[in-house]
């Protein structure tokens, strides 16, 4: 990793630009005066003093009372712990504040627009939420076993335990084993009639649809759209239901 990469990483951990650059420069130097740090970091010397003092306040730098004054970074393990603790505190404070201002209630099942989501975890969270809102029917398409997280599998089991009709459509026989002791219907498509889907999908109560595809060029790995109680959701549900019934019939006939 270059010094520039290290600075960028420290900034993501919450250090301001000058503080990150000064801290990286001190790692390279071992210790140094404001002038030496300025030369290495390209931070103006007048700004090095303030940045180094802030780092000292954070416990990341020792101030050597010499003439001229020098600065020395603390041990890296100590710095890592201090920054991690600070990040945890800020994260806790941020989400406590968000919880205090968050609108009450949930409109997951009431919206009639089309929304998009990126990232496996947010998509899994939305799948779970939609399954929990199901009144009667849940159909989850998981072509491969690793497309079905434990979080989603648990929500499907819970829905089935609440007398919702839950079906999982897959091409992976191991998925059947995962639900062997649960009231979840698992349909395994045969080799002659594979589950030919571009990604995973969810249908709830024939009015809510979520479609997700993997995106190799996206660092978040997956993108999805979903819609509930909308006309387009009803149309997509009909297509999905028709295709699933046709494929299931051919699978049953074959075997």
Are residues 95 and 118 both part of a single domain? no
Q: What is the CB neighbour count within 10 angstroms for residue 92?
A: 10
Calpha distance 165→79 (Å, rounded): 53
What CATH code is carried by the domain that includes residue 42?
A: 1.10.10.10
Of 72, 101, 130, which residue is a domain's last?
101
Tell me the per-residue pLDDT of 19-29, one tens digit each, with 9 for 90 and over: 999 999 999 99
User: What percent of the chain shows pLDDT beyond 90?
Assistant: 40
Tell me the per-residue pLDDT of 102-134, one tens digit each, with 9 for 90 and over: 765 455 445 567 888 888 889 999 999 999 999
What strands, in cross-sheet order, belong to the sheet with 199-204? Answer: 114-118, 222-228, 208-214, 199-204, 137-141, 165-170, 185-188
Calpha distance 239→149 (Å, rounded): 25
Tell me the per-residue pLDDT of 197-243, one tens digit each, with 9 for 90 and over: 668 899 998 888 899 988 776 556 788 888 887 777 777 777 776 65
> What is the structure's pLDDT at 162?
95
Residue located via tokens 């109560």:
205
Q: Is residue 143 part of a domain?
A: yes
Domain that holds residue 62: 3-101
| Model-wide pTM > 0.75 | no
Are residues 136 and 238 both part of a single domain? yes
**Which three-class secondary structure state does DSSP give residue 36?**
helix
Q: Is residue 182 part of a domain?
A: yes
Are residues 247 and 162 both part of a single domain? yes
Q: Is residue 78 part of a domain?
A: yes
Of 43, 67, 101, which residue is a domain's last?
101
Q: What is the CB neighbour count within 10 angstroms for residue 197?
A: 21
Residue 115 is encoded by which pair of tokens? 């929304």
Number of domains in the chain: 2
Are residues 38 and 93 both part of a single domain? yes
């Amino acid at each position: 990793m270059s010094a520039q990469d290290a600075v960028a990483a420290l900034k993501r951990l919450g250090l301001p630009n000058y503080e990150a650059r000064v801290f990286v420069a001190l790692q390279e130097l071992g210790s140094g005066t404001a002038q030496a740090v300025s030369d290495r970091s390209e931070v103006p010397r007048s700004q090095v003093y303030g940045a180094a003092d802030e780092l000292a306040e954070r416990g990341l730098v020792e101030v050597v009372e010499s003439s001229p004054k020098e600065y020395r970074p603390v041990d890296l393990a100590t710095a890592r712990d201090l920054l991690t603790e600070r990040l945890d505190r800020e994260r806790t404070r941020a989400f406590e504040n968000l919880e205090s201002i968050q609108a009450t209630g949930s409109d997951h099942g009431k919206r009639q627009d089309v929304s998009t989501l990126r990232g496996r975890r947010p998509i899994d969270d939305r799948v779970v939420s939609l399954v929990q809102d199901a009144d009667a029917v849940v159909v989850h398409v998981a072509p491969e076993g690793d497309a079905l997280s434990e979080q989603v599998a648990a929500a499907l089991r819970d829905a089935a335990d609440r007398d919702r009709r839950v079906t999982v459509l897959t091409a992976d026989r191991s998925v059947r084993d995962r639900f062997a002791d649960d009231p979840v219907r698992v349909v395994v498509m045969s080799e002659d009639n594979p589950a030919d889907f571009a990604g995973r999908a969810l249908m709830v109560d024939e009015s809510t649809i979520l479609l997700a595809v993997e995106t190799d060029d996206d660092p978040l790995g997956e993108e999805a759209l979903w819609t509930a109680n909308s006309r387009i959701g009803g149309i997509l549900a009909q297509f999905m239901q028709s295709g699933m019934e046709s494929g299931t019939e051919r699978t049953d006939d074959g075997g």
